[in-house]
Amino acid sequence: MIRFAAPSDLPQVLEIYDAILTQEESGGPVYTNWRRGKYPTADTAWSALKAGTLYVGESGSALWGVVNLNGIQLPEYALIPWTLSANEDQVGVIHTLCIHPGQSGRGYARQMVAFCEEEARRLGKNVMRLDTWEHNLPANRLYPSLGYHFAGAAEFFFQGVIREILNCYEKAL
Protein backbone atom coordinates (compact mmCIF):
# COMPACT_ATOMS: atom_id res chain seq x y z
CA MET A 1 0.00 0.00 0.00
CA ILE A 2 1.18 3.53 -0.78
CA ARG A 3 -0.17 6.44 1.22
CA PHE A 4 0.55 9.93 2.52
CA ALA A 5 3.31 9.86 5.11
CA ALA A 6 2.49 10.66 8.72
CA PRO A 7 4.82 12.21 11.30
CA SER A 8 5.10 8.79 12.94
CA ASP A 9 6.63 7.44 9.68
CA LEU A 10 9.65 9.75 9.79
CA PRO A 11 11.91 7.38 11.80
CA GLN A 12 11.37 4.62 9.21
CA VAL A 13 11.82 7.07 6.34
CA LEU A 14 15.16 8.07 7.84
CA GLU A 15 16.03 4.37 8.21
CA ILE A 16 15.49 3.93 4.46
CA TYR A 17 17.77 6.90 3.67
CA ASP A 18 20.35 5.55 6.14
CA ALA A 19 20.22 2.01 4.72
CA ILE A 20 20.89 3.31 1.21
CA LEU A 21 23.80 5.48 2.35
CA THR A 22 25.24 2.71 4.52
CA GLN A 23 25.10 0.22 1.64
CA GLU A 24 26.89 2.66 -0.66
CA GLU A 25 29.53 3.61 1.94
CA SER A 26 30.28 -0.03 2.72
CA GLY A 27 31.32 -0.86 -0.82
CA GLY A 28 27.92 -1.86 -2.12
CA PRO A 29 26.63 -0.56 -5.40
CA VAL A 30 26.51 3.23 -5.56
CA TYR A 31 23.38 4.53 -7.24
CA THR A 32 22.65 7.88 -5.62
CA ASN A 33 25.71 10.12 -5.29
CA TRP A 34 24.11 11.40 -2.07
CA ARG A 35 26.10 12.65 0.92
CA ARG A 36 25.35 11.60 4.49
CA GLY A 37 24.27 14.60 6.52
CA LYS A 38 23.74 16.67 3.35
CA TYR A 39 21.01 14.90 1.37
CA PRO A 40 18.60 13.35 2.06
CA THR A 41 18.18 14.32 5.70
CA ALA A 42 15.49 14.54 8.35
CA ASP A 43 14.87 18.10 7.14
CA THR A 44 14.35 16.79 3.59
CA ALA A 45 11.66 14.39 4.78
CA TRP A 46 10.12 16.84 7.24
CA SER A 47 9.80 19.57 4.60
CA ALA A 48 8.02 17.21 2.20
CA LEU A 49 5.79 15.94 5.01
CA LYS A 50 4.78 19.49 5.95
CA ALA A 51 4.10 20.28 2.29
CA GLY A 52 1.85 17.22 2.00
CA THR A 53 3.99 15.71 -0.76
CA LEU A 54 5.69 12.82 1.06
CA TYR A 55 4.33 9.34 0.36
CA VAL A 56 5.39 5.98 1.77
CA GLY A 57 5.02 2.41 0.64
CA GLU A 58 4.31 -0.07 3.38
CA SER A 59 3.72 -3.73 3.92
CA GLY A 60 2.30 -4.53 7.32
CA SER A 61 3.89 -2.05 9.68
CA ALA A 62 7.18 -1.78 7.77
CA LEU A 63 7.95 0.86 5.17
CA TRP A 64 9.62 -0.36 1.99
CA GLY A 65 9.83 2.95 0.15
CA VAL A 66 9.38 6.70 0.14
CA VAL A 67 8.93 9.41 -2.49
CA ASN A 68 8.37 13.15 -2.67
CA LEU A 69 5.85 13.97 -5.40
CA ASN A 70 5.25 17.62 -6.19
CA GLY A 71 5.42 20.08 -9.06
CA ILE A 72 8.73 21.71 -8.16
CA GLN A 73 11.14 21.75 -11.08
CA LEU A 74 14.73 22.44 -10.11
CA PRO A 75 16.31 25.53 -11.71
CA GLU A 76 18.51 23.31 -13.89
CA TYR A 77 15.40 21.89 -15.54
CA ALA A 78 15.47 25.04 -17.67
CA LEU A 79 18.62 23.60 -19.34
CA ILE A 80 16.80 20.48 -20.53
CA PRO A 81 15.23 20.40 -24.02
CA TRP A 82 11.92 18.95 -22.85
CA THR A 83 9.77 17.69 -25.71
CA LEU A 84 6.46 17.70 -23.85
CA SER A 85 5.23 21.21 -23.33
CA ALA A 86 3.08 21.97 -20.32
CA ASN A 87 2.21 24.88 -18.10
CA GLU A 88 4.10 24.92 -14.81
CA ASP A 89 1.00 23.79 -12.89
CA GLN A 90 0.49 20.81 -15.22
CA VAL A 91 3.84 19.15 -14.41
CA GLY A 92 4.32 16.57 -11.69
CA VAL A 93 7.86 15.89 -10.50
CA ILE A 94 9.14 12.76 -8.77
CA HIS A 95 11.89 13.50 -6.23
CA THR A 96 13.94 11.20 -4.01
CA LEU A 97 12.21 7.94 -4.85
CA CYS A 98 13.83 5.44 -2.49
CA ILE A 99 13.31 1.73 -1.98
CA HIS A 100 14.90 0.14 1.09
CA PRO A 101 17.89 -1.91 -0.16
CA GLY A 102 16.55 -4.95 1.70
CA GLN A 103 13.36 -4.71 -0.33
CA SER A 104 14.85 -4.15 -3.79
CA GLY A 105 14.02 -6.47 -6.66
CA ARG A 106 10.36 -6.87 -5.68
CA GLY A 107 8.84 -4.40 -8.14
CA TYR A 108 8.31 -1.71 -5.52
CA ALA A 109 9.94 1.04 -7.60
CA ARG A 110 7.57 0.27 -10.49
CA GLN A 111 4.67 0.31 -8.06
CA MET A 112 5.78 3.66 -6.63
CA VAL A 113 6.15 5.24 -10.07
CA ALA A 114 2.70 3.97 -11.13
CA PHE A 115 1.24 5.45 -7.94
CA CYS A 116 2.95 8.80 -8.61
CA GLU A 117 1.57 8.89 -12.13
CA GLU A 118 -1.97 8.17 -10.95
CA GLU A 119 -1.73 10.71 -8.13
CA ALA A 120 -0.36 13.34 -10.53
CA ARG A 121 -3.26 12.70 -12.91
CA ARG A 122 -5.68 13.05 -10.01
CA LEU A 123 -4.09 16.42 -9.23
CA GLY A 124 -4.61 17.59 -12.82
CA LYS A 125 -1.07 17.06 -14.10
CA ASN A 126 -0.51 15.89 -17.67
CA VAL A 127 3.28 15.57 -17.72
CA MET A 128 5.61 13.80 -15.28
CA ARG A 129 9.27 14.77 -15.01
CA LEU A 130 12.12 13.45 -12.94
CA ASP A 131 15.87 13.30 -12.75
CA THR A 132 18.33 10.68 -11.66
CA TRP A 133 22.09 10.53 -11.31
CA GLU A 134 23.79 9.53 -14.56
CA HIS A 135 25.38 6.48 -12.86
CA ASN A 136 22.16 5.20 -11.29
CA LEU A 137 21.95 2.21 -13.63
CA PRO A 138 18.77 0.66 -12.19
CA ALA A 139 16.85 3.94 -12.45
CA ASN A 140 18.22 4.72 -15.91
CA ARG A 141 16.92 1.32 -17.05
CA LEU A 142 13.64 1.50 -15.11
CA TYR A 143 12.25 4.80 -16.35
CA PRO A 144 12.51 4.04 -20.09
CA SER A 145 10.92 0.63 -19.46
CA LEU A 146 7.96 2.51 -17.95
CA GLY A 147 7.52 4.73 -20.99
CA TYR A 148 9.67 7.68 -19.91
CA HIS A 149 11.57 9.54 -22.63
CA PHE A 150 15.16 10.66 -21.99
CA ALA A 151 14.96 14.45 -22.42
CA GLY A 152 18.58 15.36 -21.73
CA ALA A 153 21.28 15.66 -19.10
CA ALA A 154 22.83 18.62 -17.34
CA GLU A 155 25.09 19.45 -14.46
CA PHE A 156 23.08 20.22 -11.35
CA PHE A 157 24.37 21.83 -8.17
CA PHE A 158 22.03 19.72 -6.13
CA GLN A 159 20.90 21.23 -2.83
CA GLY A 160 23.86 23.60 -3.13
CA VAL A 161 26.06 20.69 -2.03
CA ILE A 162 26.46 18.07 -4.75
CA ARG A 163 27.67 18.81 -8.27
CA GLU A 164 26.56 16.01 -10.55
CA ILE A 165 25.23 15.17 -13.97
CA LEU A 166 21.57 14.20 -13.80
CA ASN A 167 19.65 12.48 -16.55
CA CYS A 168 16.17 13.92 -16.99
CA TYR A 169 13.12 11.99 -18.12
CA GLU A 170 9.55 12.91 -19.00
CA LYS A 171 6.30 11.15 -19.76
CA ALA A 172 2.87 12.28 -20.92
CA LEU A 173 0.21 11.28 -18.42
130: domain CATH number is 3.40.630.30
The crossing angle, in degrees rounded to 10, of helices 10-25 and 42-51 is: 140
**Alpha helices by DSSP H, the chain:** 10-25, 42-51, 108-122, 137-145
Residue 137 and residue 143 in contact, taking contact as beta carbons nearer than 8 Å: no
CA–CA separation, 126 vs 140, rounded Å?
22
150 vs 158: CA distance, rounded Å: 20
Q: Is 113 within 8 Å of 97 (Cβ atoms)?
A: yes
Q: Tell me the per-residue pLDDT of 12-69, one tens digit each, with 9 for 90 and over.
A: 999 999 999 999 999 988 999 999 999 999 999 999 999 999 999 999 999 999 999 9
Can you tell me the mean pLDDT for 120-142?
97
Band of residue 86 on the pLDDT scale cut at 50, 70, 90: confident
> How many structural domains does the chain have?
1
Range of the domain at 36: 2-172
Mean pLDDT of the chain: 96
For residues 22 and 43, the answer to whether their CB atoms sit within 8 Å is no
